[in-house]
Amino acid sequence: MTPLHLGCRPLAAGPAAGVMISVTGELDAGNADDLESYIGRMRHPGRPLVLDLGGLTFMDSTGLHVLLRVHGEVRRQGGTLHLAAVRDLPARLLQITEVWDALDIHPSTQAAITALSQAPAPRLGRLPRG
């Protein structure tokens, strides 16, 4: 088994301001909680989150559930989740579970960043009038 390695870097200012988290190795029941915890510590609520999965060689259903929970939490807080550079085995799991079409998936990290720069800025701090 290849250990899971995680890294984080900020994204540019403007609509793309957020973080990119790189995920390398194998994601399974033994380390999925580590990824979810790391994402929780590193991301900025209401801002974009890009997961660079170019180094992720394997993902089981536990890893898939982490991605779905993170996706739901990011959306509830007004942000967006983008997956980038998804390799064959993780991509196959996303496709056979029909999750592939429900997420924003890009062929590369650069494509994800470009998509963010073309998206409208998140609406933070707006209160309903009344």
Residue 24 pLDDT grade (very low, low, confident, very high; cuts 50, 70, 90) = very high
Q: Does 21 score more than 80 pLDDT?
A: yes
pLDDT, position 34: 98
Q: Does 79 score more than 90 pLDDT?
A: yes
Q: d(Cα 81, Cα 35) in Å, to the nearest integer?
A: 15
- Residue showing tokens 């590369």: 108
Strand 19-27 and strand 5-10: the pairing is: antiparallel
Is-above-0.95 flag for pTM?
no
Q: Does 124 score more than 50 pLDDT?
A: no
Q: If you average pLDDT over residues 73-89, what whole number do you get?
A: 96
Is residue 54 within 8 A of residue 85, CB to CB? The reply is: yes
According to CATH, what is the number of the domain 5-9+19-117? 3.30.750.24
